[in-house]
Each structure stands twice: as structure tokens, then as C-alpha cells.
Structure 1
Amino acid sequence: MDCCLLLEIDCDHTGHLPPSYKACVKKEYETFPFNITPYSNHLGWSSSTDCCRWDGIHCYRNGHVVHLLLPFRGLQGRISPSLEDLIHLTHLNLSHNSLSGSLSHGFFISLKSIEVLDLSFNTLSGELPSSLPSTINTIDLSSNHFNRTIQSSFLQPAQNLSRFDFSNNNFTGSILSSICSNSSSIRLLDFSSNHFTGGIPQGLGACSKLHFSRAGLNALTGTIPDDIYNGTALQEISVPLNQLQGSISDAAGATCKQLNRKLAGVSNELYKSPSAELTVNLLFGDISALNFSNLQQLRTLDLGNNNFTGVFPPSLYSCKSLTAVRFASNQLVGQIMPDIAVLQSLSFLSISTNNLTNFTGAIRILKGCKSLSALILSKNFYDEAIPEDESIDGFQNLQVLALGGCRFTGTVPIWINNLTKLEVLDLSYNALTGTIPTWLGTLPSLFYVDLSNNCLDRGFPPIVGEFPALSSVTTYIQLNRTYLELPVFVQPNNVTNLQPYNQLSNLPPAIYLANNTLRGNIPSEIGQLVVLHLLDLSGNDFSGSIPDQISELINLEIPNLSRNNLSGEIPASLKNLHFLSSFSVANNSLEGPIPTGGQFDTFSDSSFLGNPGLCSAILQHSCTNTTTHPSSSSERPNKELNGTIIIAFSLELAIFLFVLF
């Protein structure tokens, strides 16, 4: 019985669990080859129940495990070799967990019956195992840390492969040229967000059933080969953010009816031959002069990060099937016109980093787009006043609102309180004044808030502890986990590659309040936000002690409390935060010993500099026989040193999230 292999125990001759098994197990999951975090979904497994009835496991009548489906279950650690003993397994889904390590060399050889494999959204690394099994038709290893090159022998046995997704990894080398000759039934190829070089290979035209071909965010050069258009089923060619150049072949006209579902060519130097009929010359020039009216079935239009000029193209309003539009990072001018409200299927709209005007008019018009779930208008409408009245309603489906970098004046507008499905709010880099409104903490789904770099003052409202999606693991897990029509891009610190996020649930829960004039104590209620990963309170006027309750933020990875007026000691309880990757309390008035143990032994002196009263070996200031005194106002480091303003430490996710894209 495969359950016995899965649990690494001996069964009786009938293949059933022995009666003594329950007594041998100290706790649930003990023998399961993954770790289950205390805050993950409860699997509901019990040693008193046949494992074929456990959630996520399906067996044939003979007891062989054929399906192991455990996405979003908080699994951690390496994949145990015992998993390879499930030789009858046909479907394996361990996606959206925290699995790490590499796959064994014989991983695919052992799972010789596997048909569907999904290990996406983990932190698996290393090179790929040997060749795929001949039975496989779907493989998704996207959003991991796999590297090295993909050898042609890896795909050779997989003649029935239909879906191949290796996006968002660290693969290098060339894209395989033999993939279609080995697997002519492929429908989706996704090599995007890796480090592939060279050109798009010849031979993709042999994939006669290919619907989607994606290779964006790599370092590809050269031209798009003509034979790719031989695939009459082709619906999407997406090659954004590469270094491609040259013309789009006239052969593309033969697939116009399919290709007009999606046109994506971000940041290349592609141009269209004047005699061709396919309107891929959208990539340059005055966009308002282009005619979109022939593309009645167009659903997704992604032309971000180019040099288009003109106004929002009026002919686009005839494309009633549009669900996603991105014109971010161009040179568009003018206003958003009322005609856009005819696009009732529009779910994703990004026009950030242009030169649009009249935000009040835009927001009153866009509320008529009833399907909008992501609205990204950052870095437009410069120096305008943000409308604050409650009469702005609608947006009942809005999950993402990004208005950063507009230099808006006014206060945090109360109409945002009507956005009951809002999950992500970016109002950073404006000139907003007043207080953090108490109603912000009552929005039921809000888990990512960026109010940094404004002029907000007064205190930090205690209601901050009431954020439902940040204070309840259950509520956070139940948030809408549907995929966005187009990804939003994040640029982590010291990383040149933009990281795409197609699903909001993959963004780390965060509160950014850096560089305001907030004062008073940090409320102890902040310890209720047990889901929080990132907390940036730097560059304010917070005073008093660091609340011990921060140690209750069990998922916290990056707290930044630097450049405030905090005093007292660093709570020793903070060393119990086991997920800290960085920590900063620099430039305050703290004193006493720096905690030791846990992650605190990994932090450098830069995390604590500018606190003359702190003592520790890493500061070369021994705590032995040392009497510490609070720093006087003249000793406390100023936010301005030697005439240079200190810029706040930018955390893992910065303004780049919505301002650039």
C-alpha cells in the first residue's frame, strides 16, 4: 500500500496500517516528508484514518497513491527521497509552499507514471534532474531558483508534453531549439524571467498546436524567426524586456485572427514592415493615430516601457473584449476620457509614469469601469489635489490601487474607505498631510499599505492592530487568490532584474510609513499583526521604547525602526523572531546591551549605529562595567549629517512596485 511508503512505516500483509501505528506516532505529520508550519492550513490528517481518505491524497482501489495535491499548505524543508517510492503517482502538486533544496538526480526516473507535475512558487534550486518521463504532459517549475542550462536530453522522452512552464527562475544558456521536434503537441511554452541568451530559436513553427509562446525578461537578441508564424493556433507571442530588433515578418499576417488576442512587446526595438497587415507597429510613434478598431477580439494589450507619444488612443474603445491594458512608462499626455467606460470587461489598467492630467476627472470616469480590479496610475497628475469627498463610489471589485509618486496634496481620501475588496494600496511619494485615518485598519482585505514619503503627522492610531487581513492568518489565507490579467513588477534592493507578480497573494504583507513626521509611541497593538512580513517606520519622530509586543510578529522578516527618537533598551524577546533577514534601529537614542542569539548574531554593526548608549562586541563597545546614560539632545544623531540628507533604507519592496509599471 503506497500510504505505507508515504508514511515510511511497515504495514501488515494486507497493506493496511498496523493497529500499533497510532501509538507509535507522537503527533500528526511526524513521518510525512515535509514540515508543516503552525500557521499553515490544517491538513486534518489523523493516524486513525486510512491515509487514502486524507485531504490531498487520492488512491486507486488497490491502495496505490495516484494523486498528491497539497498546494498552499505551508510545507517547508526539502523533498524527502521517500516521495520517489510512490511509483504509481500520476498527479503531484506541491505548489505555493516553502520547499527548498534540489531535486534528486533520479527524481523523474522514479516517478515514471507522472502526468502532471506542479512544483511552482517554492524556493527549489540547483540544476534539473535527468530526462523527463515519457508519460508527462504538464510540467510547471515556475517561480523557483533552478539554474544552469536545460539540456536537450531533458525533453527528449516527453513526446506528449503540452504545457512547459519554467518561468521566473535562474536558467542560463540558450532556449532549446529541439523542443517542438520532440513534443509537437505543446500548447504553452514559457521561458520568461530567466537569464537566457542568444536568439529565439528556429523550429518553433513545428509546434502546430502552440497557443502561447513567452520568453520575456531575458537577454535575448536578434530577430523573431519567420517560422514561428507557421503555428496557425498561435494566440500570443510575448517577448517583453529583451534586446530584440528588426522587423516583424509579413508572415505574421496569416495568424492575425489568433494573435490579436494579445500583443506584448515591451522594451524592444521591433518595427513593422510597411506592407504587412498585422498592426505590431504599436511599438513606437504617436499611439493616438493608430487604429485598433480591426482588433475586435483583442483582450490584452501590453505596450509598457516604450516611447509612445500622444493621447490615450480613441480607437481602443471599440475593442469591447479588452480585459487588460498597460501603457506604463511612455510619454502619453492629456486626460482620461469618458469613452473608456464602455470597456466593461476591463480588469487591469496601468498608465503609470506618463504625463496625464485631471485626476479628479479620471477617478470619477474610471469608477464606471465596473470590472476594474487593478488600477495603477502612479507618477501622473503632478501637484494636483487629490479629491477627498465620499461621493466617489463604485470600484466595488478593486483590489489594487496605486497612486504613488504623483506629489498629490490633501489628505488620505475618505472614499478609499468604500473599497471593501482592496488588498494593496500605494499612496507613497506624495505630499499628503493630516493623520493616518482610523478607518484604514477596518478594510477587510487590505494587507499591503504604502504611505511612505508623505507629510503625515500626529500619532500612530492603535487601530493599526485591527487590520483583519494582517491580524488573522485565516482571513489572510481566504483572500482572493485569482491571477491578475497582467503581472505587476517589483524591483528588490540591489537586484537588477524586475520580479513579476501575477498573483497578489505572492506579495509579502507589508506596512510602509517611512519618511513622514509621525510622532508618539509605537502602539503595543502592533503585535496583533501576526501575518506581517515587512514593517518600515524609519525616518519619523516616534519616541518611547520599542514595544515588546513586536516579538509577537512571528512572520516578520524586515523591521526598520531607524532614524526616530526611540529610547530604552532593545527588547531581548526580539531574538525569538526566527525569520528576520535584516533589522535596523540605527540613529535613535537606545541604550543597553544588544540582544544576542537567534538572528541577532547575523546582523552587522550598521543595524545599530547612531545609538551611543548601546553596547555590544560588534560595536566594539563592551557592556562590562559600563554605565549607560540616555543621550542628550545634542548627542542624538540628526537626520541631516554633514549637510547630507540620509535617505531611508529601502526595504524588499519599494516604490518600484507600481511607479515603474
Structure 2
Amino acid sequence: MTSMHLLSLPFNQLSGNIDGTLITKLTNLAFLDLSNNQLSGELPASISQMPSLEQLLLNGNQLRGVLPPELANCTKLKILNLRYNNLSGELAAVNFSSLSNLNMLDLGNNKFTGDIPASLYSLKSLKALRLAKNSLEGEIAPAMVELQALTYLSLSADGLTNITTALQILKDCKNLTAIILSKNFNKEAIPTNTEWADRYFQNLQVLGLGGCQLTGQVPLWLSNLSNLLALDLSENQLTGPVPTWLGSLPYLFYLDLSGNLLSGEIPPEITGLHALTMDHFESRINQSILQFPIFIKPANGSGLQYNQLTELPPAIYLQNNTLHGMILPQIGQLKNLLVLDLSHNNFSGNIPVELCNLTNLERLDLSTNHLNGEIPSTLNSLHFLALFNVANNNLEGPIPSGGQFDLFPLSSYEGNPKLCGAILLKHCSNHSGNEDPPTTKHMNKKVLIGMAFAICFGGAFILIMSAFTILYLMKAQQRKYARTNKVKFIATSVSSFPNVPSGDSILVMVPNHGDSAKKNLSMSDILKATSNFDQENIIGSGGFGMVYKATAPDGSKLAIKRLSSEMCLMEREFRAEVEALSRAQHKNLVSLQGYCMHGSSWLLIYSYMENSSLDYWLHEMANSGLMLDWPTRLKIARGTSQGLCYIHETCQPHIVHRDIKSSNILLDEHFEAHVADFGLSRLILPYNTHVTTELVGTLGYIPPEYGQTWVATLRGDIYSFGVVLLELLTGRRPVELFKPKESAELVTWVKQMRYQGRQDQIFDLQLKGKGFDEQMLKVLEIACMCVNENPLKRPTIRDVVAWLENISVDLQTK
């Protein structure tokens, strides 16, 4: 297909009617994409004068009226997508049987009426059919079995009847992998015939029957669907227990039984779902792009669509039933789980500590049950948790602090009057799990009131005097420090910290990093090396403080980050966190060589990077005549992805960076990338009460979802890394304020250029014509997947590492 045969103008805010006269002049056009604009009016009958047309994409507009019968003259059509318009009338007006080459048809989200037209059943090449969210009615006709090539069928939210007949017919469409019939068959009984699954539906991977108000129990025949990945039976009237045999489905990773009348306890077998416990389960799933996106979750609607089965979030939805009993500790085995919703049931007992093993969990909802006891403090190790809700239970004791728990809203805890903690402004010091002694219960009320008053008054007096004493001692220590400038050096251990006399500073060099010369560093050496932190030695700055270049007594260079004095750090937590970060050792991370608590200053000592930052080379050196060639840029992208993969998946504890950007990617003398500041967000935020509700990140790199949740996640880092990839490809900054609105933001501009088919104009002029266009196009594809607005559609960092590695291998063979 040559360029003269293609017209692609999606997402261009085109408005008005489609010009029928212009259509008659495009007789050789094979590909027409005007999707996602603001086109209105009717689809012109002159469309029949485009005999070469193979793909017609007009989805996401405001077209109205009926489908012109002349559409049947476009006999070469392979793809027809008119989803999301206001088209109406009966589909039978078009004779689809003449479109024998059609393999993808999407007329969903319109206002079509009547039965499914009989002419559709003659399309032997049809692989994907979506007529969802119209006003169709009647039954699925027996002639549907003629569609033997069909793999994807979505007829949800129409007015179909007779579910038994529908399934009996569809069982003979042997290639079907996705059947979505949600919101049909109102209040019918779900079929229980087991013969279907014994011989049929063996290729079925997705089954959606949610929102139908079906009666009966979860049918046993589903247990034979050995390839089932996703099952949606939500918003029905199913009764009985959660079947034990669900745990035997080898690939099931998405289960939605919410909004039913299920009773009993969660069967232990559910906690053995193989796909949720195995390593790299995604590799067992078909990685190909679906013909049409999957819309499921009628009970848990988020408006999200999934173009690959691997994008579906591993989830268990059991909310809004009448389940009871304990929450099984074995659920902690389901390490691949991203969503667990058990809300609005009758669960009792404690929240299992074992839930802290769900290290990938992003949503945990246990609200509106009868849970008691404390919230396990170990849950604050769930670094990717974006939603946590335990409202309306009988919980008590302190709410965990640190990590994501400093960011959840108060509504997550309401309806638990015995909870306490800083977020509730309710002190926990007197909390005890024991009841008052029996003698106290029977004491005279007046005596108790008098004692309480005396205790409060006496306690307040002691606190005030203690405060004055502490202030006096602090002043004395500061005067002593000013006189002696004493520094106590602690040798090489970071696993234990001796008691340090008041007023002393602590300088710790991390083992295996510094040589013997650096082990003898003193605070006076650091002050001398930075000229007492003179501004002439500043080599960088950021949200956490200034970075200074320092030359050690042995002549080696260091980078000293001096944390802002406004940071509210506690010494014990600072030591614990830096100790954790010092274990994060990878060739693509800036190595932490040591740290120091010196008076009111908190210093971090890093290796010095000879070639500064990626930001410096892309944006400061752009006009100097020096440039990064494509192999070097690809090398930097690979190194950065490997460093990011290490902190996300390998090091313990896992770390969400929160501020991936080109200025935090430092380059050594060989232009090897080193991710910097990878621990500072983790180090600062859990203990800084002044910034827990602030949006972390840098303009242009912040994922769109952060504006709604204010919770940093793994997928947020992926978005920011995607922006860095776009910087490497384009040489442009993420935001250029003096450019027109449509091109000021890098991500928006790149997407528009791609939609217009002008991706060759995206690349940095210094890179074009050097023989690397094919590799750059592949990296562009990766970058655009990373900056997808839907966080669930972004790839994992492990996938990105593999893709970049393959591109690098391809580059080396040229």
C-alpha cells in the first residue's frame, strides 16, 4: 500500500460533515482513518465509489443516521470500525453478505435496533464481531455457526434473550477465544448442562456474563474450560458457595463473582490458583494484540479497555456477597495478584499478616465487614498499593505509617472508632489490646474523674518541663559542637550503630565501596573538599537538596548531596533507610559510598560521574557541536532500564523511584548510565509529614493518573521512563513553555505526529540519515507504550529491558 492509497487523520479535532464530493475523488484510497475527531452528519452514500477501500475507521465521532445500503459495494473491505457514534436504524438495511473479505466489524456503542442481520452470518472470513451497547434484540440465530473463523464476539448490553440457546449455538464456533455477552438475558437461569464444556469451548479464554441478573449457581461445566483466563459472572443473582473447583483452572487469573448472593466461606482451593502463584505467568498467555479491545467488569467498571489479554490485571473480586468466616492467610501465596476486593461481606477475625506477601498488590478493599484486631504494620511494605480501604469494620490500634500508608485518605479508615494514629490526629500511646482490670470497672465514678484530672494535669506539667529541659540541652550541645567540631568516625559497619554521644556527628562509609583512603575521611575533609559547601562547587540541584563536587585527600572525586534543612528526618529512620539503600548495588545505579549526620545537615556521599547527566548532554550541549550518537543513546536507554528493573524487582525492599528524569540519569566516563536519587523519595517521604500529600515528580514526567491518586506506583515510573526515551529520540525537553500549546508537551506532540503518520519527523535531526531509523522506530514504539494514559496498558520494566536488549543485538549485527 503506497502513501497515495492512505489517508490517516485521527485525533485532529476535525469537525463538520464528511464531504461526499471529496469521497468520490478518492477512488484509489485503500485506508481511510478519520477516527476520534468531531465529525457529524451522515455517512455519505458516495462511500460506494471507493472500490479499493480495505480499511474504514470512523470510530469516535458524532456520526448519525442509518448505514447507507451502498456500503455493501465496498467489497474489498477487511476492517470496518464505526464504534462510538450516534448511528441508528436497523442493520438489516445493509446486505453484509457482499463484504466477503470482511474480517473485523465493530458497530458497537451506537443506537442500532432490530435483530442481528442474517446477512452477517455469511461472512466466512469474519474473525472479530462487536455489536455491543446498541438496542438489538431477539436471539442469536443458529446460522451463527457458519462463522467458523470467529475468535472474538462481543454482544454485551443489547437486549438478547435465551442464554441456553445462545450457548448451545456458540459452542460450535470452535475458534472462539473471547465471548462477552454481559447485560443480556435478564433474570434467566444460567444453564447447567455439563456436556458443552466436555467437548466444546476448549479454546475459550475470556467469558463475560456479568450484569445479566442470572439465577442459579455457578455452573459446574465451567470447570472444564481448561484455557480460561478471565471469568466475569458479576452482578447476577447466583446463590450457593464459591466453587472449590475454581482453584483447579490452571490459567485463571481474573475472577469476578461480585454482586451476587453467594454465601459460605472462601474455599482454600481458591488460594491455589496456579496463574496467581507461578513465576512469569504472563509468558503462558497469548501476547498478541486482540482484534478489538476487551471491555469486561460491569460491576467494577473503570472505563478501561484491554487490547491484550496480558493487560488484564490479575484480580479477585468477591465484594457485595454474603460470604463469611476468616480471610484465609493462604491468600498471601497469590503473589501475582494486583487487585483483591472482599468488601461488603460478613468476614470476621483479623486481617492476615500474610497479606504483606502480596508485593505486587495495587488495590486492597476489605471495607464493610466485621474484621477486628489491628491493621498489620507489615502492610506498609506493599510499595505499589494505590488503594487501601478498611472502612466500616471493628479494627483498633495504630494505623501503619510510612510508605504508601501516609497517602491514603481518611475515608479508608472511617467507621472504626478504635483506630488511632497520626493520620487521624489521634494519639496511640495509651492503646492496649487488654481490657481494663475488673477492679477499675467497679471504682467510684467520681474517683476515676479525679484521678483522670490529676493524671492529665501532672502529665501536662511534666511534658512542659521536659520540653524546656530538652531545648536547654540542645542549645548546650550546639555550643559544644561549635567549639569542638568533633566528628566520630564509625568504621565499616552499617548493620549496627553504637550509641553516639550527644553533639557528635556520624560519618559512615559503606563497606565494599570506599577504599582504605576513603575510610579515613573525616568531616573536616568533606568541608575542605567542598570549600565549606561553596556554591562554586554545586554540580546539581533537585527537590531534595544541592549536589556538590568534592575532591578527597587522595585526589579521587566524590559527589556530596546535602539534603534540604526543611526535610523532617528522624535519626533512627534515616539510619535504617540508608542502610537499606546501601544494599542496592547495581552497575546502573549511582553507588552510595557513605553518609553523614552533621549537626542539622544530612549528607549522602556518592561516586562522581565524569560526564554529568543525560539532561546536560541532550539539552545543554545541543548547540555545542558535541552530541550523543544513536548507539550511545541506545546504550543509555538500556542501562537506565536495567537499573530501574533492579530497584523494582530485585533489590529488597523494592523501591519506586518517583522521579525518573534525564537529570537523574548520570553518565560515567564511558557513558554508562547510572540511575540517581533512586532512594531519596523512599528515604524522605515516609517521615516528612509536610510533603505526604504533595505530588512527587517533575513537570513533563508526571504520569496523568498521579493528578487523581497522588500515589506513586511502579507503572508511574514506567511512564516517566517512557518520557526519557522520547527525549533520547527527539532531543526535545519534556515541556517547552514557549512553543504553541499543541507542541509544548513532548508526549502530546509525539502522539499527534504518529497519528498523522509523520513519525519520521519526530527524530532528532542529528540522528536522521545515519542508518538507524529502523531501530529508532522500534524504540519509539516502546516509548509510546510506556506513556500510555492507561497505566494498566504500560509494559513491565522487565519487558522493556528485553525489548531494548533485542534492539541492541540487532544494532550490533549491522
Question: TM-score interval w.r.t. the shorter chain?
Answer: 0.5 to 0.7
Alignment of 1:206-285 (within 5 A): 211-221=30-40, 233-245=52-64, 256-259=74-77, 261-269=78-86, 283-285=87-89
Q: Deviations over 1:329-376 (max 9, x none)?
A: 222222222221121111111111122221112111110000111111
Equivalents in 2 of 1:613, 1:445: separation in Å? Answer: 41
Number of the residue aligned with 1:417? 223
Q: Deviations over 1:154-206 (max 9, x none)?
A: xxxxxxxx8xxxxxxxxxxxxxxxxxxxx936858484xx6845469989999
- The letter for the 1-side match of 2:133 is S
- The letter for the 1-side match of 2:286 is N
Counterpart among 380, 384, 391 of residue 195 in structure 2: 391
Equivalents in 1 of 2:330, 2:300: separation in Å? Answer: 33
Alignment of 1:442-591 (within 5 A): 442-489=248-295, 498-591=303-396
- The letter for the 2-side match of 1:371 is N
Are the equivalent residues in 2 in contact too, given 1:446–1:469 (CA < 8 A)?
yes
Equivalents in 2 of 1:426, 1:218: separation in Å? Answer: 33
Are the equivalent residues in 2 in contact too, given 1:432–1:455 (CA < 8 A)?
yes
Is 1:405 aligned to 2:211, yes or no? yes
TM-score normalized by the length of structure 1: 0.60
- Return closer, same or farther for 1:409/1:207 CA change in 2, 3 Å cut-off: same
- Return closer, same or farther for 1:356/1:251 CA change in 2, 3 Å cut-off: closer
Number of the residue aligned with 1:10? none
- Return closer, same or farther for 1:221/1:355 CA change in 2, 3 Å cut-off: closer
The alpha-carbon deviation at position 451 of structure 1 amounts to 0.4
Give the secondary structure class of the aligned counterpart of 1:477: helix
Is 1:608 aligned to 2:413, yes or no? yes
Q: Deviations over 1:426-464 (max 9, x none)?
A: 000000011111111121111111100001111111112
Are the equivalent residues in 2 in contact too, given 1:605–1:619 (CA < 8 A)?
yes
- Return closer, same or farther for 1:247/1:459 CA change in 2, 3 Å cut-off: closer
Give the secondary structure class of the aligned counterpart of 2:195: coil
The alpha-carbon deviation at position 215 of structure 1 amounts to 4.4
Counterpart among 138, 153, 168 of residue 349 in structure 1: 153
The alpha-carbon deviation at position 423 of structure 1 amounts to 0.9
The alpha-carbon deviation at position 490 of structure 1 amounts to 6.7
Name which of structure 1's ranges 480-489 and 356-365 shifts more when overlaid on structure 2. Answer: 480-489
Equivalents in 2 of 1:204, 1:627: separation in Å? Answer: 78
Counterpart among 570, 577, 598 of residue 403 in structure 2: 598
Equivalents in 2 of 1:495, 1:337: separation in Å? Answer: 30
Equivalents in 1 of 2:369, 2:298: separation in Å? Answer: 24
Number of the residue aligned with 2:101? 297
Number of the residue aligned with 2:140? 336
The percentage of counterpart residues that share the same residue type is: 49
Number of the residue aligned with 2:670? none
Q: Deviations over 1:369-396 (max 9, x none)?
A: 0011111111111111111232222011
Q: Deviations over 1:2-34 (max 9, x none)?
A: xxxxxxxxxxxxxxxxxxxxxxxxxxxxxxxxx
Q: Deviations over 1:248-303 (max 9, x none)?
A: 899978x71222x232212424xxxxxxxxxxxxx532334643222222222211
Name which of structure 1's ranges 207-216 and 244-253 shifts more when overlaid on structure 2. Answer: 244-253
Give the secondary structure class of the aligned counterpart of 2:212: coil
Give the secondary structure class of the aligned counterpart of 2:396: strand
* Structure 2 gap segments, 5+ residues each: 436-791, 793-814
TM-score normalized by the length of structure 2: 0.49
Equivalents in 2 of 1:244, 1:257: separation in Å? Answer: 22
Q: Deviations over 1:28-85 (max 9, x none)?
A: xxxxxxxxxxxxxxxxxxxxxxxxxxxxxxxxxxxxxxxxxxxxxxxxxxxxxxxxxx
Give the secondary structure class of the aligned counterpart of 1:614: strand
Is 1:370 aligned to 2:187, yes or no? no
Are the equivalent residues in 2 in contact too, given 1:470–1:476 (CA < 8 A)?
no
Equivalents in 2 of 1:430, 1:217: separation in Å? Answer: 34
Are the equivalent residues in 2 in contact too, given 1:396–1:419 (CA < 8 A)?
yes
Equivalents in 1 of 2:272, 2:26: separation in Å? Answer: 53
Are the equivalent residues in 2 in contact too, given 1:470–1:531 (CA < 8 A)?
yes
The alpha-carbon deviation at position 212 of structure 1 amounts to 3.9
Number of the residue aligned with 2:734? none
Equivalents in 1 of 2:206, 2:301: separation in Å? Answer: 24
- The letter for the 2-side match of 1:364 is Q
Give the secondary structure class of the aligned counterpart of 2:3: coil
- The letter for the 2-side match of 1:381 is F
- Return closer, same or farther for 1:554/1:212 CA change in 2, 3 Å cut-off: farther
- The letter for the 2-side match of 1:488 is I
Are the equivalent residues in 2 in contact too, given 1:434–1:455 (CA < 8 A)?
yes
The alpha-carbon deviation at position 246 of structure 1 amounts to 7.2
Give the secondary structure class of the aligned counterpart of 2:264: coil
Give the secondary structure class of the aligned counterpart of 1:502: coil
- Return closer, same or farther for 1:424/1:309 CA change in 2, 3 Å cut-off: same
Counterpart among 112, 125, 130 of residue 321 in structure 1: 125
Equivalents in 2 of 1:578, 1:235: separation in Å? Answer: 48
Are the equivalent residues in 2 in contact too, given 1:216–1:239 (CA < 8 A)?
yes
The alpha-carbon deviation at position 232 of structure 1 amounts to 6.2
- The letter for the 1-side match of 2:273 is F
Equivalents in 2 of 1:413, 1:566: separation in Å? Answer: 31
The alpha-carbon deviation at position 475 of structure 1 amounts to 2.5
Equivalents in 1 of 2:297, 2:23: separation in Å? Answer: 31
Number of the residue aligned with 2:242? 436
Are the equivalent residues in 2 in contact too, given 1:219–1:242 (CA < 8 A)?
yes
Give the secondary structure class of the aligned counterpart of 2:291: strand
Query: CA RMSD of the aligned region, Å?
Result: 3.4
- Return closer, same or farther for 1:577/1:312 CA change in 2, 3 Å cut-off: same
Q: Deviations over 1:129-169 (max 9, x none)?
A: xxxxxxxxxxxxxxxxxxxxxxxxxxxxxxxxx8xxxxxxx
- Return closer, same or farther for 1:548/1:185 CA change in 2, 3 Å cut-off: farther
Equivalents in 2 of 1:390, 1:430: separation in Å? Answer: 20
- Return closer, same or farther for 1:376/1:403 CA change in 2, 3 Å cut-off: same
Equivalents in 2 of 1:625, 1:350: separation in Å? Answer: 58
Are the equivalent residues in 2 in contact too, given 1:197–1:221 (CA < 8 A)?
no
- Return closer, same or farther for 1:340/1:458 CA change in 2, 3 Å cut-off: same
Equivalents in 2 of 1:343, 1:226: separation in Å? Answer: 28
The alpha-carbon deviation at position 483 of structure 1 amounts to 2.2
The alpha-carbon deviation at position 221 of structure 1 amounts to 4.6
**Larger strand proportion of the pair:** 1
- Return closer, same or farther for 1:321/1:575 CA change in 2, 3 Å cut-off: same
Are the equivalent residues in 1 in contact too, given 2:69–2:94 (CA < 8 A)?
no
Number of the residue aligned with 1:654? none
- The letter for the 2-side match of 1:367 is K
Are the equivalent residues in 1 in contact too, given 2:210–2:297 (CA < 8 A)?
no
- Return closer, same or farther for 1:296/1:227 CA change in 2, 3 Å cut-off: closer
The alpha-carbon deviation at position 629 of structure 1 amounts to 7.1
Equivalents in 2 of 1:559, 1:209: separation in Å? Answer: 54
Are the equivalent residues in 1 in contact too, given 2:259–2:299 (CA < 8 A)?
no
Give the secondary structure class of the aligned counterpart of 1:284: strand
- The letter for the 2-side match of 1:184 is S
